[in-house]
């Protein structure tokens, strides 16, 4: 089965397709001067774009792994998440706290989707 890679940079591919599954790299907000809800919304827009590159979309999400920098802001992340996910097509999810790439980075999301 072939492997298709998209948006490859020096250290990763942002999207990898294989065997009917689309894997998206961990994404963070480009503008991390804003709060948790806004950063999450930015991340989800980026994920939409990466899913589209592989010919799929958020209605086909399989799994999500969410790292947040501060559990007290989980509800703010969830607001953006709930605005984004497609009713009836929710992926599995786990959300834990981790220190992310910069002190200002509040959320990083990894997803997989069916194609």
Chain contacts with its own copies (rule: CB under 8 A)? 1, 3, 5, 8-16, 18-21, 23-26, 60, 62-65, 67, 71, 74, 78, 81-82, 85, 88-101, 108, 110, 114
Which is nearer to its own copies, 52 or 92 (by Cβ)?
Answer: 92
Q: Which of 52/114 has CB closer to its own copies? A: 114
Nearer CB in complex with its own copies: 31/98: 98
**What is the nearest approach in angstroms of its own copies to the Cβ of residue 44?**
13
Q: What phi and psi, each to the nearest 5 degrees, are found at residue 28? A: -125, 170
What are the CA-CA distances from residue 39 to residues 46, 73, 115 (Å)? Answer: 11, 12, 26
Residues forming beta bridges with residue 24, ordered by sequence position:
15, 111
Closest distance to its own copies from the beta carbon of 8 (Å): 5
| Contact of 26 with 46, CB cutoff 8 Å | no
Shortest Å distance, C-beta 22 to its own copies: 10
Q: How far is the CB of 33 from its own copies (least distance, A)?
A: 19
Strands 3-8, 21-27: pairing is unpaired
Between the alpha carbon of residue 26 and those of residues 1, 87, 88, 115, the distances in Å are: 24, 23, 24, 19
The helix (run of H) or strand (run of E) holding residue 28 is none
Closer of 45 and 110 to its own copies (Cβ): 110
């Amino acid at each position: 089965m072939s492997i298709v890679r998209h948006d490859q940079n020096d250290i990763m591919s942002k999207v990898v397709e294989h065997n009917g599954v689309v894997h998206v790299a961990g994404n963070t907000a480009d503008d991390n001067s804003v709060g948790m809800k806004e950063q999450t919304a930015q991340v989800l827009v980026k994920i939409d774009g990466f899913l589209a590159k592989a010919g799929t979309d958020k209605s086909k999400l399989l799994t999500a792994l969410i790292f947040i920098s501060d559990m007290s802001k989980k509800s703010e992340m969830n607001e953006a998440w709930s605005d984004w996910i497609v009713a009836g097509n929710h992926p599995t999810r786990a959300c834990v706290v981790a220190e992310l790439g910069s002190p200002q980075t509040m959320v990083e999301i990894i997803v997989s989707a069916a194609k």
